[in-house]
């Protein structure tokens, strides 16, 4: 199991039945880490370097120092990596130790910790009560905490990074380097792995903390918020990694425009606009590169299914799809048709077309266990004729459970597993229920609950689409002459039936959406069941040896004999 999954499982085991405790623990740890990052002096235990030692890392002063001739500002480098420590350096270190010891950080640290906890709590409460897509699962909360901690580390390392950038790009003014910190990578990762609404709240929270950390700058906070929103917008439907690069370019352009606007307000852009534009674009590209490198790691560690992962799963050479095509060809074809239906419908209602299509491919993989017991794979004998209705319904009910197990084994992701689990909702297996009622012994009642799927009902638009398409595509096979009018009547009838049965009560599909879905399904079915022209065959094929065919005209003489011989030769080569 991956580390994140192990942590989530451990949380779930230790605090089972107490989700509030899990949230409090995550909240406390995030607040504590934030406080440590913002107040490094509370973890200061003094220096061990002596004159003659070689420094193995940069040493910065955590506080302002004013002692005799020694003057140091907070964050100023006292000793550089690789430097041989002299007596003067040792004296500066002792001055820093004395300054840290004199200044008690308890009160400001406690105040900042409370501020952080209150800010996080309000953000969480707002999201959980007003954003339907906001998940309170430990895995999602841990992900947000990890991304937030990563942004804090970037801020903490900004001083060292600024020193390096001054060496690499000395042409940029000193005040511009702060705008190179890729804070927008946090909201971009949240959007890639979760959704836009959570990314918006995350961007707002992180921008305030960034402005506070960098001297309480309102300009930096506004710049971070605008950049976070732009980064999230750029990866809205990320189906290729190149889209992240394009999002970086978009972020760079918006960053540059924001910095120029801030410079115009301050009056600095009139004299030096070029450095602001360069800083904005560099920030965008660094953000994109970091997102490309970090997103796959988080995706694997937390078992999320991004659009890039969905594209990989949509390939027909996936082991599950290959096995489905060989062992259950009817189910395979059924799933492909449903994928076409739901993809078109998802585009019409602003759902995720890629997720809907890939989920449709895998929604019936549970039928691999007993493919011969499902009607689309039955070619000769119907095995259900020899089974009791209760046993037949049990086989149908189990294909959902077995599909979920297979999806977990092949790590298809929680989104696809949810669709597999929900695509039948709590619907009734009507055929076997009626068969049981008709064949039941006198006085023996048939419990309807035994013939209903266990659920849950569809929770998302994509799951609702798969449910509708699954039922309509299966029913369309019963139409002897599938004309557009008959298909339209059948589609509307099944949509109304599923709606009145309450199967769509818990997903976000509206009546307007159902109307758009019905139109989309009818359009796709019109292409599937279209008619072709009946072309006439040549006369020598259709009118031979006294057998009348549909062809017209005659071919006489040696030409006719040669053509007939050529056709027979070709048929023999084909084994006919």
Higher model confidence: residue 490 or residue 171?
490
Rounded Cα gap, residues 80 and 568, in angstroms: 90
Q: Which pLDDT belongs to residue 37? A: 84
Highest mean pLDDT among 51-60, 80-89, 94-103: 80-89
Q: At what angle are helices 138-156 and 196-213 packed, to 10 degrees?
A: 30
- In the predicted model, is pLDDT for residue 103 greater than 90? no
Q: Which pLDDT belongs to residue 163? A: 67
Task: Name the residue among 144, 246, 260, 252 with its Cα closest to residue 191.
Answer: 144
Per residue in 517-528, pLDDT (tens digit) is: 999 999 999 888
pLDDT-derived band of residue 204, with 50, 70 and 90 as boundaries?
A: very high
Taking residues 356-378, what's their average pLDDT?
93
- In the predicted model, is pLDDT for residue 69 greater than 90? no
Q: Which helix (H) or strand (E) holds 71?
A: strand 70-72
Buried b (16+ CB within 10 A) or exposed e, 57-88: eebbbbbebeeeebebeeeeebbeeebebeee
Residue by residue, DSSP assigns 197-251 as: HHHHHHHHHHHHHHHHHTTS-HHHHHHHHHHHHHHHHHTTT--SHHHHHHHHHHH
Q: Which pLDDT belongs to residue 300? A: 85
Highest mean pLDDT among 19-23, 71-75, 413-417: 413-417
Q: Which pLDDT belongs to residue 549? A: 46
Taking residues 352-358, what's their average pLDDT?
94
Per residue in 494-519, pLDDT (tens digit) is: 999 999 999 999 998 999 999 999 99
Asked if 498 and 468 touch (Cβ cutoff 8 Å), the reply is: yes
Q: Which of 215-219, 306-310, 572-576 has the lowest mean pLDDT?
A: 572-576
Task: Name the residue among 197, 303, 205, 296 with its Cα closest to residue 244.
Answer: 296
- In the predicted model, is pLDDT for residue 110 greater than 90? no
Q: Which of 100-109, 111-120, 296-305, 367-376 has the lowest mean pLDDT?
A: 100-109
- In the predicted model, is pLDDT for residue 569 greater than 70? no
Q: Which of 465-474, 514-523, 548-557 has the lowest mean pLDDT?
A: 548-557
Three-state SS at 462: helix
Q: Which pLDDT belongs to residue 420? A: 97
Q: Which pLDDT belongs to residue 44? A: 59
- In the predicted model, is pLDDT for residue 55 greater than 80? no
- In the predicted model, is pLDDT for residue 442 greater than 50? no
From residue 90, give the alpha-carbon distance in Å to each of 44, 46, 66: 17, 12, 16
Taking residues 207-231, what's their average pLDDT?
89
- In the predicted model, is pLDDT for residue 113 greater than 60? yes
pLDDT-derived band of residue 56, with 50, 70 and 90 as boundaries?
A: low
Q: Any idea how long the chain is?
A: 576
Three-state SS at 269: coil
Three-state SS at 133: coil
Phi then psi for residue 133, to 5 deg, are: -85, 0
Highest mean pLDDT among 47-56, 81-90, 186-195, 545-554: 186-195
Three-state SS at 295: helix
- In the predicted model, is pLDDT for residue 11 greater than 50? no
Percent of the chain's residues with pLDDT above 70: 83
pLDDT-derived band of residue 84, with 50, 70 and 90 as boundaries?
A: confident
- In the predicted model, is pLDDT for residue 252 greater than 90? yes
Taking residues 445-461, what's their average pLDDT?
91
pLDDT-derived band of residue 78, with 50, 70 and 90 as boundaries?
A: confident
pLDDT-derived band of residue 537, with 50, 70 and 90 as boundaries?
A: low
Q: Which residues pair with 54 in a beta bridge?
A: 84
Tell me the average pLDDT of the chain. 84
Rounded Cα gap, residues 289 and 386, in angstroms: 61
Q: Which pLDDT belongs to residue 178? A: 82
Q: Which pLDDT belongs to residue 428? A: 93
The CA R_g of the chain, rounded to the nearest whole Å, is 33
pLDDT-derived band of residue 542, with 50, 70 and 90 as boundaries?
A: low
Task: Name the residue among 217, 158, 216, 166 with its Cα closest to residue 183.
Answer: 158
Q: Which pLDDT belongs to residue 79? A: 83
Q: Which of 109-113, 356-360, 554-558 has the lowest mean pLDDT?
A: 554-558
- In the predicted model, is pLDDT for residue 558 greater than 80? no
Residue with tokens 């991956």: 2
Q: Which helix (H) or strand (E) holds 562?
A: helix 557-573
Rounded Cα gap, residues 433 and 437, in angstroms: 6
- In the predicted model, is pLDDT for residue 551 greater than 60? no
- What residues contact 251, with CB distance under 8 A and at least 6 apart? 184, 227, 230, 231, 234, 283, 284, 287, 288
- In the predicted model, is pLDDT for residue 108 greater than 70? yes
- In the predicted model, is pLDDT for residue 448 greater than 80? yes
Helices (H), ranges, 328-479: 329-348, 353-362, 389-409, 414-422, 430-439, 461-476
Per residue in 270-284, pLDDT (tens digit) is: 567 888 888 899 999
- Residue 178 is classified by DSSP as G
- In the predicted model, is pLDDT for residue 149 greater than 50? yes
């Amino acid at each position: 199991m991956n580390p994140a999954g192990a942590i989530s499982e451990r949380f779930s085991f230790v605090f089972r039945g107490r989700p509030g405790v899990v949230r409090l623990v995550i909240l406390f740890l995030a607040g504590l880490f934030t406080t440590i990052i913002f107040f490094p002096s509370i973890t200061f235990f003094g220096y061990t370097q002596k004159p003659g030692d070689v420094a193995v890392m940069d040493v910065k002063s955590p506080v302002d120092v004013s002692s005799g001739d020694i003057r140091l500002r907070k964050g100023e480098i006292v000793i550089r990596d690789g430097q041989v420590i002299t007596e003067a350096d040792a004296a500066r270190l002792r001055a820093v130790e004395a300054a840290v010891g004199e200044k008690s950080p308890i009160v400001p640290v406690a105040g900042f910790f409370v501020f952080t906890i209150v800010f996080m709590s309000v953000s969480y409460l707002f999201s959980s009560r007003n954003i339907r897509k906001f998940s309170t699962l430990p895995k999602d909360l841990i992900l947000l905490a990890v991304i937030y901690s990563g942004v804090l580390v970037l801020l903490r390392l900004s001083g060292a990074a600024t020193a390096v950038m001054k060496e690499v790009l000395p042409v940029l003014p000193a005040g511009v380097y702060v705008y190179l910190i890729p804070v927008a990578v946090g909201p971009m990762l949240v959007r890639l792995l979760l959704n836009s609404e959570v990314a918006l709240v995350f961007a707002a929270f992180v921008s305030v903390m960034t402005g506070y950390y960098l001297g309480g700058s309102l300009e930096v906070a506004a710049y971070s918020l605008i950049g976070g929103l732009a980064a999230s917008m750029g990866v809205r439907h990320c189906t290729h990694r190149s889209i992240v690069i394009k999002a970086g370019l978009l972020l760079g352009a918006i960053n540059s425009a924001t910095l120029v606007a801030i410079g115009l307000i301050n009056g600095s852009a009139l004299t030096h606009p070029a450095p602001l534009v360069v800083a904005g674009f560099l920030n965008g590209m660094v953000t994109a590169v970091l997102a490309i490198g970090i997103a796959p790691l988080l995706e694997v560690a937390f078992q999320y299914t991004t659009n890039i992962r969905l594209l990989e799963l949509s390939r027909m050479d996936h082991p599950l799809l290959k096995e489905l095509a060989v062992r259950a060809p009817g189910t395979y074809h059924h799933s492909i048709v449903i994928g076409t239906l739901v993809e078109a419908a998802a585009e019409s209602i602003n759902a995720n077309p890629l997720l809907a299509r890939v989920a449709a491919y895998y929604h019936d993989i549970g039928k691999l266990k007993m493919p011969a017991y499902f009607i689309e794979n039955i070619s000769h004998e119907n095995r259900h004729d020899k089974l009791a209705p209760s046993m037949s319904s049990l086989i149908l009910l189990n294909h959902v459970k077995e599909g979920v197990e297979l999806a977990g084994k092949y790590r298809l992701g929680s989104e696809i597993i949810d669709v597999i689990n929900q695509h039948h909702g709590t619907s009734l297996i009507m055929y076997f229920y009626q068969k049981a009622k008709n064949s039941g012994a006198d006085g023996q009642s048939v419990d309807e609950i035994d013939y209903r799927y266990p659920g849950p009902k569809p929770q998302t638009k994509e799951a609702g689409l798969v449910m509708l398409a699954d039922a309509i595509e299966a029913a369309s096979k019963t139409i002897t002459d599938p004309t557009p009018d008959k298909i339209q009547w059948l589609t509307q009838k099944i949509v109304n039936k599923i709606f009145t049965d309450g199967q769509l009560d818990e997903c976000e599909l509206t009546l307007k959406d159902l109307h758009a879905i019905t139109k989309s399904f009818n359009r796709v079915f019109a292409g599937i069941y279209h008619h072709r022209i009946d072309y006439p065959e040549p006369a020598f094929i259709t009118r031979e040896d006294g057998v009348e065919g549909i062809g017209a005209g005659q071919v006489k003489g040696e030409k006719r004999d040669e053509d007939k011989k050529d056709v027979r030769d070709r048929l023999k080569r084909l084994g006919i």
